[in-house]
Amino acid sequence: MADANSEQAKEFNKLKHDLEEHRELILLLSSVLKWEKKFYPGVIFGVISFLFLILWFLNLSILTLVGVIGVIAVLIDYGYPIISKIIFKPENWTGAQEKAYEEVVNEILTVKMKVCGVTKYACVPKEEKTIVYYLGAAGGFIALAYVGSVIDNFLLSYLAILSVALFPGLSRHGVGKIITEKLLDQVKQIKEKTIKKN
């Protein structure tokens, strides 16, 4: 247990150090993704919709799109450190911001560990229950192929990216719990009606 905690502390410190250069931007993105202001969901929806509208209008091939995204990534990678030194002054960094930054780094580490756990869990059946693993994987990929053939790929990409971007705010504000509770109430009402009819 102590080894796991020390390993997690090492990973935390490494991740914190690696992201240090982008800490102001990370705090801003965290604030937006968690909907700390009421208009942030609209901003997320608007920005993603606008970007996809541009992509739809340009109708780029996959290779051209990858090239354009690569050029934009290189320009951001080159320009961000220069611009961040002008906009974000290190002397303006406060203790409250440091605490918030550590919380965000801890959340990123938690997500990373969950993803690693899920991938490790998904690989266990491959070693222990080979047939179940291959049948499950093949069934999942067939379902994905079917959904991809029925629904437009661009729409699927848009919905997936929008869902991923809205998920932190939805989970922080308990929307998932509210929806689940309402669905369970509906199921209870339906059960009660069927029991009364019988």
Q: pLDDT tens digits, residue range 77-124?
A: 899 888 888 888 877 888 888 899 999 999 988 888 888 887 777 666
The type of residue at 129 is K
On whether the CB atoms of residues 74 and 196 are closer than 8 A, the answer is no
Residue 52 lies inside a defined structural domain of this protein:
yes
Tokens in use for 108?
């990123």
Angle, helices 62-87/23-33, rounded to nearest 10 degrees: 110
Q: Which domain holds residue 163?
A: 2-59+94-172
Residue 65 lies inside a defined structural domain of this protein:
no
Classify each residue of 27-63 as buried b or exposed e, where b means 16 or more C-beta atoms within 10 Å of its C-beta. Answer: beebebbbbeeeebbeebeeebeeebeeeeeeeeeee
Residue 78 lies inside a defined structural domain of this protein:
no
pLDDT tens, residue by residue, 21-58 = 888 889 999 999 999 999 999 999 999 999 999 999 99
pLDDT tens, residue by residue, 171-192 = 888 887 888 788 788 888 877 8
Residue 148 lies inside a defined structural domain of this protein:
yes
Residue 111 lies inside a defined structural domain of this protein:
yes
Residue 149 lies inside a defined structural domain of this protein:
yes
- pLDDT greater at residue 131 or residue 24: 24
Residue 178 lies inside a defined structural domain of this protein:
no
Q: What is the model's pTM?
A: 0.76
On whether the CB atoms of residues 173 and 33 are closer than 8 A, the answer is no
Tokens in use for 166?
């809205």
Q: How many domains does the chain have?
A: 1
Q: What backbone phi and psi angles, to 5 degrees, belong to 77?
A: -60, -35
On whether the CB atoms of residues 15 and 105 are closer than 8 A, the answer is yes
Residue 103 lies inside a defined structural domain of this protein:
yes
